[in-house]
Amino acid sequence: MGNLRFRDDAALDQPAVALSAFLDQSNATAVRLEPGEDARLLIPHLDRIALIEVAFPKFRDGRGYSAARILREAGYAGELRAQGDVLVDQIREMRRCGFDSFVPDKPLDAAVVKTTLERYDNVYQRAADAAVPVWKLRHG
């Protein structure tokens, strides 16, 4: 399996433009964020963006997780894609941070992705997904 998408809408077939190009012009509706770039610069433009692609050149570089949450916290509802060195054991955390599509460099095994995503029934903290933290379950 190559790419993964957890959305019902049709995928955009526009290439994502670099952040600087996006901010300079533009009528682009897809933008790409590199790890060192500030996701907050996109906040004024979120209503016209359909796809934000967050680059993970190395799986160890976790800045994209914060970028994703910041975008979701700002109300972004479009496609949020993790692209690059994305490993199966990271999909769950990425989903929790708000990513809903994945374009990994190396294809992922669909069966492993499925078990990975279904393994944990509970989470300890609120994040950008709909999962209810256990403190909420404990106290209603």
* C-alpha–C-alpha distance, residues 56 and 35, integer Å: 7
Q: Shortest gap between Cβ of 14 and other proteins (angstroms)?
A: 27
Q: Which of 57, 39, 34, 63 is nearest to 49 (CA)?
A: 39
Structure tokens given for 44: 């004024």
Please say which residue, 28 or 98, places its beta carbon nearer to other proteins. Answer: 98
Q: Looking at 30-126, list the stretches that DSSP marks H as alpha helix, in order from N- to C-terminal side.
A: 63-73, 91-96, 110-119
Is residue 126 a contact residue for other proteins (CB under 8 A)? yes
Is residue 62 a contact residue for other proteins (CB under 8 A)? yes
Is residue 111 a contact residue for other proteins (CB under 8 A)? no
Phi and psi for 6 in degrees, rounded to 5? -115, 45
Given candidates 9, 27, 119, 130, which one binds other proteins under the rule CB under 8 A? 119
| Residues within the interface to other proteins (CB under 8 A) | 35, 59-63, 65-67, 69, 73, 87, 89-90, 92-94, 96-97, 109, 112, 115-116, 119-127, 133-139
